[in-house]
Amino acid sequence: MQSPDRSIVRETDAPTDAPVETLDVAAAGPPAPLRQTLELLPTLDDDAVLVQYNDRAPQHLYPKLDDRGYAYETVERGDSVVTVIWREP
């Protein structure tokens, strides 16, 4: 059976054969989700995909990802918002 994280990755343009890491920041109030995500990304392998679960679209994160050379897509899933983040090739 496929993991829910891998299923979400397949809905985006992220590499589907990459290792997947998960970060759930839905219960964390601002600015914790932004900080936690930006602290975690540089520790991941360059080919890894991060699946971030949040309670809203991380609008302040997007320009920071752009500046750092990451691609991303956000998908709404019921009560949560899932942002898939990967390094541009």
d(CA 69, CA 63): 10
| In the predicted structure, residue 1 carries a pLDDT above the cut 70 | no
Q: What integer pLDDT is reported at residue 61 of this predicted model?
A: 98
What pLDDT, on the 0 to 100 scale, is given for residue 79? 85
φ, ψ for residue 27, nearest 5 deg: -90, -5
Specify the pLDDT at position 34. 97
- What pTM was computed for the model? 0.94
Mean pLDDT of the chain: 94
Per-residue pLDDT of 10-50, as tens digits, reads 999 999 999 999 999 999 999 999 999 999 999 999 999 99
Which of these, 78, 70, 66, lies nearest to 15 by C-alpha position? 70
Would you call 16 helix, strand, or coil by DSSP?
coil
DSSP E strands in 1-89: the ranges are 20-24, 49-54, 70-77, 80-87
